[in-house]
């Protein structure tokens, strides 16, 4: 059931009709503090996941857990992750922020990194929690941007075999069609990603000097060129287009068998027209799509309020 817009969502005056400001300003200035406890989980392939727990004290011995997935070049410390966890704690959820491989502040061990299609780690984490933390009888999932793509893909490819402990999910700023999104990404965002990714590659090259070549890195002008040179070969894809085609979550929507709400703002500068599958949502039993006029990319700042529109909708969706 698609919702064309949210009538109660009023963005700040500074960002009216400007998705770029909604995207950039909250990331620069919004701060939400959460008390985390770090846990390192060893993976079957010899690598590790660093996850950050936020145990709420308002409802002792809660049976509910919210797992939150960050976006590209993000971490558990990003404001949209901490804000989401802090808000969900008020309705009785413990929080668990998952840091993708190489994003926790310590480089992961294997040659590979994280990427848009990596659903294996979230599936492992859910099953790990189910086995080792029997006090939890309900898990909900929240994903932002890259995390949203992973989440929607995970629901779609798992179908009826999704772990039963998962009740529902919520995804924001989800790039349903990575090929068009990659080509549409403007230089200001691309430049920031490339600077951050170079630092990550340089650190990885210390352990794999014969596998990571940074020569002429400055000649890379867009994300497609980066993905051709690094993401695709490091993760088993022929090239960037092969990677985009195989990991974009839009092709997995028919397999979704558990409720998931996707919220993509119409002014999101990262998304293209192919990222608003309204007709599919109309006929889908489990996919809910909301497309507010404003919000930018993982912005959703609300006028005169301390919590974001993303957090308001999460409280309603999971309550």
Q: Is 115 a catalytic residue?
A: no
The CA-based dihedral angle spanning residues 241, 246, 251, 256, taken in that order and rounded to the nearest 10 degrees: -150
Question: Residues with Cβ < 8 Å from 126, sequence gap 6 or more?
Answer: 67, 139, 163, 165, 166
Burial of 107 (0-12, 13-18, 19+ CB in 10 A): middle
Closest CA to 86 of 99, 100, 76, 71: 76
Look up residue 174 and give its two tokens.
């989800």
Q: Distance between CA atoms of 17 and 34, rounded to whole angstroms?
A: 31
Which of 76, 87, 297, 308 does the annotation list as catalytic? 297
Q: Is 47 a catalytic residue?
A: no
Closest CA to 70 of 146, 141, 170: 146
Which of 15, 87, 102, 145 does the annotation list as catalytic? 145
Q: Distance between CA atoms of 223 and 181, rounded to whole angstroms?
A: 10
Q: Distance between CA atoms of 256 and 27, rounded to whole angstroms?
A: 31
Q: Is 268 a catalytic residue?
A: yes
Residues known to be catalytic = 145, 268, 297
């Amino acid at each position: 059931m698609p919702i064309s817009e949210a009538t109660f969502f009023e963005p700040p005056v500074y960002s009216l009709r400007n998705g770029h400001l909604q995207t950039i300003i909250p990331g620069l200035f919004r701060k939400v503090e959460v008390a985390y406890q770090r846990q390192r989980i060893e993976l079957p392939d010899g690598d590790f996941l660093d996850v950050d727990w936020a145990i709420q004290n308002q409802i002792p011995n809660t049976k509910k857990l919210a797992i939150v997935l960050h976006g590209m070049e993000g971490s558990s410390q990003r404001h949209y992750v901490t804000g989401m966890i802090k808000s969900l704690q008020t309705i009785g959820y413990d929080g668990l922020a998952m840091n993708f491989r190489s994003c926790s502040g310590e480089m992961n061990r294997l040659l590979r990194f994280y990427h848009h299609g990596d659903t294996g780690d979230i599936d492992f984490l859910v099953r790990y929690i189910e086995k080792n933390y029997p006090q939890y009888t309900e898990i909900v999932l929240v994903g932002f941007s890259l995390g949203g793509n992973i989440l929607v893909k995970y629901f779609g490819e798992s179908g009826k075999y999704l772990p039963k402990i998962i009740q529902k999910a919520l995804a924001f700023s989800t790039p349903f069609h990575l090929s068009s999104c990659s080509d549409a990404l403007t230089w200001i965002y691309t430049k920031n990603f490339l600077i951050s990714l170079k630092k990550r590659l340089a650190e990885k090259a210390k352990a794999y000097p014969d596998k990571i070549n940074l020569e002429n890195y400055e000649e890379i002008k867009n994300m497609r060129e980066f993905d051709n040179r690094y993401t695709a070969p490091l993760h088993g894809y022929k090239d960037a287009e092969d990677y985009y085609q195989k990991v974009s979550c839009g092709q997995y929507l028919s397999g979704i068998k558990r409720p998931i709400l996707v919220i993509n703002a119409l002014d999101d500068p990262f998304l293209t027209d192919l990222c608003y599958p309204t007709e599919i949502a109309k006929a889908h039993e489990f996919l809910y799509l909301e497309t507010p006029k404003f919000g930018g990319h993982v912005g959703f700042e609300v006028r005169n309020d301390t919590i974001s529109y993303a957090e308001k909708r999460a409280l309603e969706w999971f309550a």
